[in-house]
Amino acid sequence: MSEAHRREKQPEQVRRSLLDHAAQCAVEQGLGSLTLQAVADAAGVTKGGLLHHFPSKQALIEAVFEDLLTMLDEEIDRLMERDPLEHGRFTRAYIDAFFQVTQDGSKSPWAALSISSMTDARMRELWSQWICGRLERHATTDSHPSLQIARYAADGIWLANLMKLDGMSANELAGLRNDLETLTKHA
């Protein structure tokens, strides 16, 4: 009997491994070069095993994007818990979370996935649903136009940093982040 037949099945661990390896492959190879076989090999499963969890490359990519949104949600919630000022709390947490991702630049799984979301309708829809849901939840504290401008500025800074060959300096990013945080407290 082969090792695969004796091994206890752990579908959640396999799924987690596939998501993690797909994100890593997207960073290393670019989303266009990502193959199901490469992800399966990296995760130590067969391509059939991968297809059991994700029936297509598109399904895998969407699952990675949804997974990243879940992690972003958790990070924003964590940051919000530490912020004593209610007004603009979501926006400050959003800015902080995106500045953390900004520091990773093209090494972040967000890089490949976010760029592709500009051309992929389904990924744009997932992002839109996520952001609209968060904004709806925090409408009483984060609907001021200045807060919306601060979130858009954080998005733009992230994209500008990603497109810059060497990225922005740590000091430049810290200054911009502080300016945006100040804006959220005077809205």
* SS3 assignment, position 183: helix
Residues 120 and 172 occupy one common structural domain:
yes
Residue 30 pLDDT: 78
The residue-averaged pLDDT of 37-42 equals 94
Residues 96 and 80 occupy one common structural domain:
yes
Residue 9 pLDDT: 67
Residues 128 and 69 occupy one common structural domain:
yes
The CA distance from 118 to 125, in Å, is 10
Q: How many domains does the chain have?
A: 2
Cβ atoms of 91 and 150 closer than 8 Å = yes
C-alpha dist (Å) from residue 165 to 60, 93, 106, 146, 149: 29, 27, 10, 30, 26
The helix/strand count (H/E) of the chain reads as 11, 0
Q: Is 1 inside a domain boundary? A: no
Task: Tell me which DSSP letter residue 165 carries.
Answer: S
C-alpha dist (Å) from residue 5 to 9, 14, 15, 54, 123: 9, 15, 18, 21, 37
Residues 83 and 160 occupy one common structural domain:
yes
Residues 81 and 137 occupy one common structural domain:
yes
Residues 71 and 159 occupy one common structural domain:
yes
For 113-147, what is each residue's pLDDT tens digit?
A: 777 777 888 888 999 999 999 999 999 999 999 99
Residues 86 and 176 occupy one common structural domain:
yes
Residues 24 and 93 occupy one common structural domain:
no
For 59-118, what is each residue's pLDDT tens digit?
A: 999 999 899 899 889 999 999 999 999 999 999 999 999 888 777 766 677 776 777 777
pLDDT: which is higher, 50 or 10: 50
Taking alpha carbons only, the member of 123, 125, 131 closest to residue 58 is 123
Whether the predicted pLDDT of 3 surpasses 60: no
Whether the predicted pLDDT of 38 surpasses 60: yes
CATH code for position 40: 1.10.10.60
Residue 106 pLDDT: 63
Taking alpha carbons only, the member of 71, 69, 58, 54 closest to residue 14 is 54
